[in-house]
Structure 1
């Protein structure tokens, strides 16, 4: 599952567990950018947000690739949006909770949790509440692939525990807050709230941690290291030096595993064993062109892959709610887009997202029970 349960701390503190992040131009208003962060896997309809957390979006203007590199370079500073919540108040029908979202440019808006209209003011519109988890993937088949070393996807896959809910925050911002930026990097984080903000989780692209960093057996350098909590503490826009070698070793090994599943190497490594995708994955943020219109399918990774080809991109990039991004990811990992599409057998959510605010489908009133972890 995309970033669900992505490490020991996420398992221990599910309220701070980010499950997915999305960023796309608004389908309703061309001058707005929509940001979505989903948290708390297996949320109950009555669950509320934590008053002890900061739910943060960070956005940085990006400059394009140069030379042989095909990653994008973030600016030193950028826009920060922080959402915080009051303690939930018990009520006869359902708990009541208020939230506030504040931008680093000074805008602030208050809202009531689970109000579908959200709150809006001064270039910001915000919704927070329980929603149907929109993630599209046959997670069991993906895990079986890792376990058996053979592609386990079928034509008819299934979403693991379909109908589960998440706690979702949707922030729609006026693009003018980005100061004229065209390409923007987006990452979401959960941090402790108070005088000292400690980063608990951060997410850019889907499945970096669970599919690309979690497996240990192929890594000959750090085979016994659970690396994901270390990775979660890093700044997505400025990776620290201390563990970068460990991340690279893990990615080089695991990406080579994925590439070999079709019996051939479509991503040849260099003389030092570096996989061509490692550098891109470590630049772990969504890349969005805020000047291009909303696209329902096919925009995910389009900007990055166009840069690799040395061609101009055609779409807004980022990640939209109904885009079946896992087929794109698996296809790139396994055959570099040079072979058939690697389908996981799931093409859409059972209840798709809409094109109107707050976009995500209402929550399942009777979600499945969470599995027990041992």
Structure 2
């Protein structure tokens, strides 16, 4: 799941479906930030990127707020964008497709799909191609938990359709050159948009599982029980939500966050007199938070910056999201126990083909990926 098939439009147009977003300091090149956008769930070895889409990363400087919530960051108005676009595939082979990555500051790099582009001194380097899907989670067990109201994770768990592929875009950029020499905290969002004179946002992703676990379930929401909310949410600017549907997002999050919190038989998160769950505002600021001044770490960084701020402490790691980090255990523990009780594990601790610490990081694609069930 993570962000796989996160709404009716993503199901109808899977080429534009962002399955996951990762952001982390380069393991080998200090001062570089790695951005990863995975798209097209269940990609096949010969699939291509769309020449009708803009694959966009958006970066904004963040300033931590004192006091721990309900919102944790002030968001700068200045934005750095990194756009990746592709030509129509040619006839030279199954992966023959040219692309260009461009930043809002005017830096660009041409590349060929499947090839690593950019040298050691370039401010940008990029890879795009079919890769093994690095996301790991026991998705059926999570869905069973929602359906039954009881934690349903087995030990060990099973990765849903393990061996599936995605279309992956990996961009590594020089922070000082392209973002700013004095920048530490950065918010990261990935989007797919229509390409042309009118750019319509189709999907956007920040943190994993906000849509599929925290916004998708309808049955607990007494205000908007019949509303499929994810397509509306996908169209929003993740750095500045419009006022029109904020009430619907708040009601859905309050209901679903309370559901997850109650699975251990007690409420670990506070709810104020208006019914606002303590995590609501934090989750509505739906972007990855990376400290680009800190070194890469393999695990334990996801949500660490946010959690430290909520506890009134200094953060210790780079935050963001690394490819091998077990973010689902972090999310389940955060939602169910607020970190006050035993860790909640889905029984899956790593991918069967882990990512490496060398560019482009993701494992080679599965030449014979599983076929998804007909109902997906």
- Is the shorter-chain TM-score for this pair beyond 0.5, marking a shared fold? yes
Using the alignment, how far apart are the partners of 1:364 and 1:192 within structure 2? 29
Deviations for 1:123-163, whole angstroms, at most 9, x for unmatched residues? Answer: 00010000000001100100000011100001110100000
Aligned to 1:294: 296
Matches of 2:25 and 2:68 in 1, distance apart?
29
Would the alpha carbon gap of residues 122 and 29 (structure 1) be closer, same or farther in structure 2, given more than 3 Å must change?
closer
Q: Tell me if structure 1 keeps the 8 A contact 2:23–2:321.
A: yes
Corresponding residue of 2:5: 5
TM-score, normalising length from structure 1? 0.98
Uncovered stretches (5+) of structure 1, i.e. residues with no partner: none
Q: Which residue of 2 aligns with 1:71?
A: 72
User: Shift of residue 67 of structure 1?
Assistant: 3.5
Report how many residues are paired: 372
Q: Map residues 15-164 of structure 1 onto 2, 5 A cutoff.
A: 15-69=15-69, 70-91=71-92, 93-115=93-115, 117-120=116-119, 122-164=122-164
| Whole-Å separation in 2 of the counterparts to 1:74 and 1:268 | 25
**Secondary structure of the corresponding residue to residue 75 of structure 1:** strand
TM-score (norm 2): 0.97
2:320 to 314, 318, 321: 318
1:68 deviates by 4.9
**Gapped regions of structure 2 (runs ≥ 5):** none
SS of structure 2 residue aligned to 1:76: strand
**1:24–1:34 CA contact under 8 A, matched in 2:** yes
Q: Is the 8 A contact 1:324 1:348 kept in 2?
A: yes
317-326 vs 170-179, greater mean Cα deviation: 170-179
2:259 is the counterpart of 1:257: yes
- Could you tell me which residue of structure 1 aligns to residue 14 of structure 2? 14
Q: Displacement, 1:95?
A: 3.8
Of 70-79 and 229-238, deviating more is 70-79
Over aligned residues, Cα RMSD in angstroms? 1.0
Say if 1:118 and 1:128, in contact at 8 Å, map to a contact too.
Answer: no
Name the SS for the 2:211 alignment partner. helix
Query: Conserved in 2, the CA contact under 8 Å of 1:48 and 1:97?
Result: yes
Give the SS at the match of 2:15. helix
* Alpha-carbon distance in structure 2 between the residues aligned to 1:16 and 1:119: 26
